[in-house]
Amino acid sequence: MSISIPKGTFDILPHHLLDKEEWRASEIWNYLESQMRQIAREYGFKEIRTPIIERTELFQRGVGETSDIVSKEMYTFLDKGQRSLTLRPEGTACVMRSFLEKNLNNKSPYHKLFYIGPMFRYERQQAGRYRQHHQFGVEAIGSAAPESDAECIALLYTLLKRLGLSHITLHLNSVGDTASRQHYREALREYLKPHFSELSAESKERFDKNPLRILDSKAPQDREILKDAPSILEYLDEDSHSHFQRVCQALELLKIPYCLNNRLVRGLDYYSRTVFEITSSELGAQNSLGGGGRYDGLIKSLGGPDLPAFGFGTGIERVIQTMLSQKVEIPADFRPQLYIIPLGESARQQCFSLLQNLRLRHIAAEMDYSDKKLKQSMRYANNIRAQYCLIIGDNEIATNAAQLKNMDSGNSHQIPFNLESILQEIQ
Ligand code: HAM
């Protein structure tokens, strides 16, 4: 019996090994990750890598017991020392743990950190939703300035645009401070009470514990009821209100289009003030490409100083899937420039040395070691999408003449067998 991959997970493989689900091509992941690193650098974010296991308590306290993530979706287990550990479901709490443990706040007043890595959530499997997904996330710690919110949002928006995406919408909202959220919660419950019996089972469950999450419901009957629900923006305290206005102005200054969405609350409990999400109309039900917001109270609630912070996470799977469905050009380097096929022992030795010299010149080159028939070797070259094939036998070594085939046009011609001539032809 062969052993299958766990449900909700997937392999990322070289492009030529995939016959479907091109989004799992490692070349595309490499391309995207390089773009993420590049933009992080431009916006002044430095990389942080934290373990994928953390103490369970971190997420219980950091993400919140009433969130779906903590109450239903965590991969939690006891290790051999009977400690409860959890595979990280998200990155923010992990960054905060590292930040506090290493007293990073004593080292500098601001910290701008980014991460790229896997997250684990035991979710119901569906398109665009995985049990192991990957996020590019940023956390800007130490600034309460509205420009810091706008800068992070701009980073994600600019990245998605730079990747060539269109039809994306930036949804923006503010969930105010703790007191204004409490007032709003009461007002929302008051509004929903007469409709309670018509709400979906999930929303009924959320009514007492976390009524704000009802705003997120996709159930048609809930959406109908919510049409006339009060808006959280009318319940904002004065400071949150003016902060929000300044975030909107900052985005306008950067010419980043946004759409106010007073139903946006997000699924994690740590947010205060600004929250945002970028959606794609192409993604179906799981349409969030990324989201985040301000989480000014989180560091303090984890036992640290009272520091403001803002961040976001974006799902790499969903970004790639949207790029592919929008057919954007992906300059991922799929193709070896040259595939060398030696025919005979003396050719083999000379080609092997040529191969290294090509690589020393930064040429992506491959060589056939198989001793297979020429036809089979050519088929493989085609398979890995080599741009050119160089074919040379022992006799041709003696006459210093190789065959170079352009794999796109199918044309071949003879060229001298030396590094300079080959470089001239293929570059
Ligand atoms: P989140 O909204 O839970 O936020 O996740 C961020 C993004 O990760 C989502 O918008 C989505 O693209 C992707 N994502 C989440 N779950 C899945 C899944 N099961 N399968 C595929 N993609 C998924 C956070 O995690 C926060 N830590 C973001 C943040 C950082 N807020 C402040 N700082």
Cβ burial, residue 155 (10 Å; 0-12/13-18/19+): buried
Q: Is the dihedral of CA 216, 219, 222, 224 positive or negative?
A: positive
In this prediction, residue 66 carries a pLDDT of 81
Return d(Cα 100, Cα 94) in angstroms, integer. Answer: 10
Determine the atom of ligand 1 nearest the C-alpha atom of 128: 21
What's the 269 CA to ligand 1 centre distance in angstroms? 13
- Half-sphere exposure for 251 (CA within 13 Å, toward CB): 25
* Extended strands (E) in 143-190: 168-174
**Residue ranges in the chain modelled with pLDDT below 50:** none
Tell me whether strands 338-343 and 365-367 are parallel, antiparallel or unpaired. Answer: parallel
Task: State if residue 92 touches ligand 1 by the CB under 6 angstroms criterion.
Answer: yes
Determine the atom of ligand 1 nearest the C-alpha atom of 137: 30
Task: State if residue 318 touches ligand 1 by the CB under 6 angstroms criterion.
Answer: yes
What's the 309 CA to ligand 1 centre distance in angstroms? 17
Task: State if residue 288 touches ligand 1 by the CB under 6 angstroms criterion.
Answer: yes
Element (H, E) at 268: none
Residue nearest atom 29 in ligand 1 by C-alpha distance? 312
Task: State if residue 149 touches ligand 1 by the CB under 6 angstroms criterion.
Answer: no
In this prediction, residue 125 carries a pLDDT of 83
Q: Is 151 helix (H, G, I), strand (E, B) or coil?
A: helix
Name, in order, each residue with C-beta under 8 angstroms of 182's C-beta and a sequence gap of 6 or more: none
Contact call for residues 426 and 363 (beta carbons, < 8 A):
yes
Q: How far is CA 215 from the centre of its chain?
A: 25
In this prediction, residue 256 carries a pLDDT of 98
Return d(Cα 196, Cα 225) in angstroms, integer. Answer: 10
What's the 34 CA to ligand 1 centre distance in angstroms? 20
Return d(Cα 309, Cα 313) in angstroms, integer. Answer: 14
Stated pTM of the model: 0.92
Q: How far is CA 250 from the centre of its chain?
A: 25
Structure token digits, residue 22? 């091109």
Contact call for residues 10 and 130 (beta carbons, < 8 A):
yes
Determine the atom of ligand 1 nearest the C-alpha atom of 63: 27
Contact call for residues 59 and 50 (beta carbons, < 8 A):
no
Residue nearest atom 22 in ligand 1 by C-alpha distance? 315
26: left (phi over 0), alpha (psi -120 to 50) or beta: alpha
In this prediction, residue 287 carries a pLDDT of 85
Q: What is the CA radius of gyration of the chain?
A: 27
What's the 278 CA to ligand 1 centre distance in angstroms? 11
Determine the atom of ligand 1 nearest the C-alpha atom of 314: 7
Task: State if residue 8 touches ligand 1 by the CB under 6 angstroms criterion.
Answer: no
Mutate which of 318, 319, 321 for ligand 1? The one with the most ligand atoms within 8 Å of its CB, which is 318
Task: State if residue 136 touches ligand 1 by the CB under 6 angstroms criterion.
Answer: no
Query: Per-residue pLDDT tens for 95-153?
Result: 999 999 988 888 888 999 999 999 999 998 888 899 999 999 999 999 999 999 999 99
Task: State if residue 91 touches ligand 1 by the CB under 6 angstroms criterion.
Answer: yes
What's the 119 CA to ligand 1 centre distance in angstroms? 9
